[in-house]
Structure 1
Amino acid sequence: MCASDYAQHYPVMAVEPDHKGDSYTRDLKIPGITASATPADGPITPISPLSTTDNAPTAAPATTGTTLAGISPSLKEDRDVMRGFIGDLSPCVVKTAPGPMNPSGVAWNNDAYAFLSQPCPTDGTANPKLWEQSRRSAAQGLFEVVPNAVYQVRGLDLSNMTLIEGETGVIVVDPLITHECAAAALELYYKHRGNHRPVVAVMYSHSHADHYGGAAGILPAAHLDGTQTIPVIAPEHFMREVLSENVFAGPAMMRRGVSMYGARLPKGPRGQIGCGLGMTTSLGTTTIEAPNTIIRSTGEELTIDGVRFVFQMVPDTEAPAELNFHLPQHRALYIAECATYGLHNIVTLRGALVRDAKAWARYLDESMVLFCGGDGKDDEGMDKSDDAVAAAAAAGDINKSNSNDMTNDNEPKEAKTDVLFAGHLWPTFGAAAITRHLSEQRDLYTFLHDQTLRLMNQGLTGAEIAEVMTLPPGLEDRIHAQGYYGSVSHNVKGIYQRYMGWFDGNPAKLWQLPPRKEALRYAECLGGVDAVLRKAGEYIQRYSELGDVDDLRFAATLLDHAVAASDPGNNREARLALAGVYDTLGFGAENATWRNFYLTGAMILRAPPAIVQQQRQAMLSRPRFAPKASVEQWLDVLSVQLDGFAAGKEETCVVRIRVTDRKEAWRVNVSHGALTRREVTFALEEEEKQEQERGELVLSLEHRELFAVLATADVPIVQARANKQDCSAMLRILELCGVLPKRA
């Protein structure tokens, strides 16, 4: 998405509480300017600040019924969405235990999106293209991908859960985010396919929580309690990357994720209408069940319950650890998250390592060579049109191979794949459509990467490249290349960042002031906060008259300075004005994650500062320990929790940890504000005596006991397993890492 995506220029609609009642009026109130834009449907009911609601705002009530009602069989994309539909979950509401962050006790409510079955509003509160993407994404239920073999449950979480039938049971791929939703998806499958197929294996395609977090909801009880093990399959370095991306930086990413996925926004035309890749994230119980079977190389094969899997390793694409797989018996290719119906993220707004767009494109080409029949051309070398593919489907020829789908003699001479399916959204059917889809996705990521580098080498910065980058003809109108989830704008900045880092080469940006210090000086230059508000109002007025979205973008910058320069209890006018600008930017956005960020930002600005601070404190948490992770991984998690500023003022602290049931030993050292760990020889009796003579604290305990110490501060275990009475070194480490409360 870039500035040109604002094809319609919507009036600014700021929301300010009416002091005479509980309704909101749409009056933009800035010193020196009043721009009224009262909607035809009247005032908006206030949204409970920072709370989860399952209903749309009363100004735009959710349509009762199913999200399937808006699907039209006359549209090709809609036919693909609904192909193989068996049955839905009705009502599509999944419950969980209520908690402070989810008092409603609802893990998932897809019925809240029933309003999407209606036409996109004409009042400018939603981008029509995003509305269409969300309408299709909201379709939920059990779908047959390959008859009597491969099934998907869609619309019960952000991601899809795939079920592959074997000789005696079912193999589950990517079991959603939460236990509750994964269990509901399995139950829906059993309802329509019978419950005589136990789960015989689970597979994680990559290291993001929406593809592993719900595993405990579908794994057999015997596997969970350790009495019987089934294969849990994952790509190489899976656990390392789960910890790196989802645990080390988990709390920070979680806070960003709330804004990116709009999980706390009300569902409705003026609120959350999806996230481009699905609808939103579920709010239940998430854990990590460690894999026990690791895939390490492309071409590696497994036969599970009679089903043959051929794997392709695709690291550093959409995730640092990721795999695709082909099912030769079923002529089906699972592309994980490398080629879905929308431009994906090279850099994600929730925060993550920048992905390698060039490698991503190369792996897509490799997928075509390994599993498809060429480059998406028909016999005469011309691209097959959507109409031609649709006609083939209607004629029953959609699953036939096309031996002419190849580009040179080094590529396969026969298509091996009739259906391409993924961890999000709907499949692609037919060899020609699949190779076209993959080749265009390959070209999409190649174009963004190479043109960013070309312009970067000509001297443009990331922000400058993002302003001028547009997709070429042949891609710009393709549904799978649209910026519903990733955007051209922020992906270009991510590619620039991967090569050049945060600094754009301008010395003025080398040592910038932090936001509040900078805002105070901007306000001083302009004559105070009221003057900043007046100037912002002038730009908003000019935007309303001329429709140049750059004026609105700059108004947001000015108002952001006004909010930062004001005392939290005395900046209500600035906050409401900025919220109004965020509304307009969000309503016009084609990109769902931009919309969610803007509208969540507006909701926070309208909330009382005390409530905002309270919620922020509630979301401050330490990285979590996974019970089945390795000791090395636990100690790495512990190290990023250390208060280095406090630890740096203290003497060196050393503790030796002996994990008796695993015959492992570790030396944990805290010095100069840093916690480091080193694996050492598992101490024998004579070495234990030497450690005691040196006065070192040694803890000898089992793996499960160490987890209790690190995750729950089980002090009695420390005292019982120490080689001496003085356990202060270990207790102090736990205090400095926030596991134990700090002493006064």
Structure 2
Amino acid sequence: MKLSKGVWALVMALAFQPEVALSQQQRAGATEATKAANAAVLNLLPFNDRQAFEDARRGLIAPLPQEMVNTAEGKPVWNPKKFSFLDEAPAPDTVNPSLWRQSQLVQIGGLFEVTDGIYQVRNLDLANMTIIEGETGITIVDPLISAETAKAALDLYTANRGQKPIVAVIYTHSHVDHFGGVRGVVDQADVDSGKVRVYAPIGFMDHAISENVLAGNAMARRATYQFGNLLPADPQGQVSAGLGTTTSSGTVTLIAPTDTISQTGQTEIIDGLTYEFMLANGSEAPSEFIFYMPQKKVLNAAEIAAHMLHNTYTLRGARIRDPLAWSKYLNEAVARWGGDMELLYGQHQWPVWGKERAVAHLKLQRDMYRFINDETLRLANKGYNKEEIAEMVKLPEAIEQNFSARGYYGSYSHNIKGTYAFYLGWFDGNPATLNPLPRREAAKRYVEMFGGADALLAKAREYYEAGDYRWVAEVADHVVYADPGNQAAKNLVADAFEQLGYQAEAGTWRNFYLAGAQELRNGVMALPAPQTLTSDALKATSLELFFDFLGVRLDRAKVEGKSLTLNFNFPDVGETFALELSNSVLNNTRNVQLPNADATITLDRKTLDAITLKQKTMAEAIGAGEIKIVGDGTKLGELFGDLDAFDFWFNIVTPNDAAMK
């Protein structure tokens, strides 16, 4: 048995940063239209406000070491010099000045004192690692993506604050940049012995794994676009993700929590300090909490309040988040602690000092998510569709003029469209959009109606010269889909994508546009797929989810007309499952054994894991007596022979093979 690359694929894609040599001559500079668009941004926003730069540097104890962080085998994990070109230089023509400013801010790294006894290491990964000093040792909050960067962060703290025992780890939420490096700072043995406690919100383990499984391969591939993993870091390429600079590429790990925060208002004493928790599940993550420390009058907002607009819909693909619930969590935080708190910080970017400023920041964040929710619904109730609403919405001046509410990671455009879909789904009510032709078939007809590819491209080039890059990308894309071998069409779309990327304020939009341009020009690179499965991830994958994913992988053409039933027993974990293949679907039922099953398979969960990790083959396990089969054993092989495999490097900006038939 083996799982495909869907399991844990997104986790590993976030940590995938291959060194890619890109042909530089294929990249163009900014056009006059792009220069004008970016220059206009300088007049729109208050760039003379330097408070954020003061805050981002406040409390610096030590800068980041400048040596590359590597794995034990010497593989690069984090390059602290990668974005040094940002520094204090003015924005070049090829970068939106607002995004350039944000990228400069998130580039500021090192060990910082947040307040007495609370420290952060910033820009050693996408997120921050927080270290809280207690009575006997330290508590680590969110140990980054990779074990190597987490260890480097701890080493930087220790070099400046001395060696202290780790007594607890806190995962604020279920995204990999907040737990993946845990084994770089603590050992499983210390957790098992009770020496180190691990705290997480309710549902953490389920969501840390399940969000990345069933659609994991697709999400992971798209994540390489979102984070610009294949782009060079320079003013014509990757400048940041907006949320942070980029993702590390080391060893992703996971240790299960020992303590669960199951309700708002739950209070824990951790190493002599009081933590008041508030659940925020279903906001930025499906499992998330924030916490307040009354002795220090400090609120950790995790990732529900940052210096930017976050994603209520994420471009890599995930379940749409609820902006109304998000705003209500922020409102509740103000109501609970706004009268007492003196400092606000999160697990990305920099803190906000002072009660008045901290509360104002929480309210700003609250109001921008509430605005997205309410204005989208107001206009939807007037009959407008998601594309129209995204163009119509005008931000209140107080939100528009505040850099901490700008769309550096999420954007108002794609969050509004996501909110529309959250409430009303993909269909806008117009029957013309109810059952449109598949993209490739429609493309062929568009090209024909234009009088052929040459005529369409000639007209599209006129729009390009006029600076109408959105329309060029839309219309010339029809030629790409009608004839994927037409390099002139691909080059024109790439040129349009490039200018759109240079103008984009969101780091995610920039990365998507520039990644798309790169692949249109060069094709999908022949790179190894990222390692997509780890022992920690597999251990945390429930058997039900394991079997659900087998159902996703079922090749419907191969199983047409087939039926089979299999019982599975796992004595070491006390679980049983019945699998039934019928009508080209695979159902699984927990705690059931079918009386007339084709076969009953008994094996330990640890044996299943070993086979999945390719530490042994199924035949070897059967030969060693680790798998016992009663009944027709060929049915087991038949089922696994009917599973599909997923190619990680599928096409995004050109048709996939199936679409070309």
Q: Distance in 2 between matches of 1:740 and 1:699?
A: 26
- Contact 1:622/1:641 (<8 A) preserved: no
- Contact 1:583/1:602 (<8 A) preserved: yes
* Aligned-residue identity in percent: 40
Say which SS state the counterpart of residue 511 (structure 2) adopts. Answer: helix
Change (3 A) 1:643 1:79: same
What residue number does 1:698 align with?
600
Q: For 1:660, which of 563, 567, 571 is the aligned residue?
A: 571
2:78 aligned partner, one-letter code: W
Q: For 2:242, which of 270, 273, 276 is the aligned residue?
A: 276
Q: Please show how residues 30-41 of structure 1 align to structure 2 within 5 Å.
A: none
Q: Distance in 2 between matches of 1:580 and 1:732?
A: 49
What residue number does 2:213 align with?
247
What residue number does 1:677 align with?
588
**Residue 238 of structure 1: how far off its partner (Å):** 1.6
**Residue 695 of structure 1: how far off its partner (Å):** 6.2
What residue number does 2:656 align with?
none
Count of matched residue positions in the alignment of Structure 1 and Structure 2:
608
Q: Please show how residues 175-186 of structure 1 align to structure 2 within 5 Å.
A: 175-186=143-154
**Residue 651 of structure 1: how far off its partner (Å):** 2.0
Q: Distance in 1 between matches of 2:441 and 2:208?
A: 37
* Residue 579 (1) aligns with residue 464 (2): no
What residue number does 1:366 align with?
332
C-alpha distance after superposition, 1:665-703 (max 9, x if no partner): 22222222222222227x9xxxxxx96xx5653333333
Q: For 1:125, which of 74, 89, 94 is the aligned residue?
A: 94
Unaligned ranges ≥5, structure 2 = 1-22, 36-46, 648-661
What residue number does 2:66 align with?
91
Q: For 1:635, which of 511, 530, 547 is the aligned residue?
A: 547
* Residue 566 (1) aligns with residue 491 (2): no
**Residue 369 of structure 1: how far off its partner (Å):** 1.2
Q: For 2:201, which of 235, 245, 253 is the aligned residue?
A: 235
- Contact 1:138/1:279 (<8 A) preserved: yes
Q: Please show how residues 398-477 of structure 1 align to structure 2 within 5 Å.
A: 415=340, 417-477=341-401
What residue number does 2:12 align with?
none
**Residue 174 of structure 1: how far off its partner (Å):** 1.2
2:495 aligned partner, one-letter code: G
Q: Distance in 1 between matches of 2:246 and 2:28?
A: 31
What residue number does 2:167 align with?
200
- Contact 1:250/1:623 (<8 A) preserved: no
Q: Distance in 2 between matches of 1:178 and 1:76?
A: 31
Say which SS state the counterpart of residue 144 (structure 1) adopts. Answer: strand
**Residue 229 of structure 1: how far off its partner (Å):** 6.5
Change (3 A) 1:587 1:184: same
Say which SS state the counterpart of residue 330 (structure 1) adopts. Answer: coil
Q: Distance in 2 between matches of 1:623 and 1:671?
A: 32
Change (3 A) 1:242 1:740: closer
Q: Please show how residues 369-380 of structure 1 align to structure 2 within 5 Å.
A: 369-373=335-339
Q: Which moved more, 1:732-741 or 1:309-318?
A: 732-741
**Residue 287 of structure 1: how far off its partner (Å):** 3.1
What residue number does 2:463 align with?
539
Change (3 A) 1:314 1:561: same
Q: Distance in 1 between matches of 2:70 and 2:531?
A: 25
Q: Distance in 1 between matches of 2:397 and 2:31?
A: 40
Q: Which has the higher contact order (CA 8 A, sep 6+)?
A: 2
1:701 aligned partner, one-letter code: L
What residue number does 1:305 align with?
271
* Residue 709 (1) aligns with residue 620 (2): no
Q: Distance in 1 between matches of 2:48 and 2:453?
A: 55
Say which SS state the counterpart of residue 397 (structure 2) adopts. Answer: coil
**Residue 429 of structure 1: how far off its partner (Å):** 0.8
**TM-score, reference length from structure 2:** 0.86
The CA RMSD over aligned residues, in Å, is 2.9
Larger radius of gyration: 1
**Residue 242 of structure 1: how far off its partner (Å):** 2.2
Q: For 1:286, which of 252, 265, 270 is the aligned residue?
A: 252
Q: Distance in 1 between matches of 2:205 and 2:437?
A: 38
**Residue 125 of structure 1: how far off its partner (Å):** 0.6
Q: Please show how residues 249-398 of structure 1 align to structure 2 within 5 Å.
A: 249-373=215-339
1:708 aligned partner, one-letter code: A
Change (3 A) 1:647 1:150: farther
Say which SS state the counterpart of residue 275 (structure 2) adopts. Answer: strand
- Contact 2:600/2:631 (<8 A) preserved: no
**Residue 338 of structure 1: how far off its partner (Å):** 0.7
**TM-score, reference length from structure 1:** 0.77
Q: Distance in 1 between matches of 2:484 and 2:95?
A: 33
Say which SS state the counterpart of residue 653 (structure 1) adopts. Answer: strand
Q: Distance in 1 between matches of 2:622 and 2:434?
A: 47
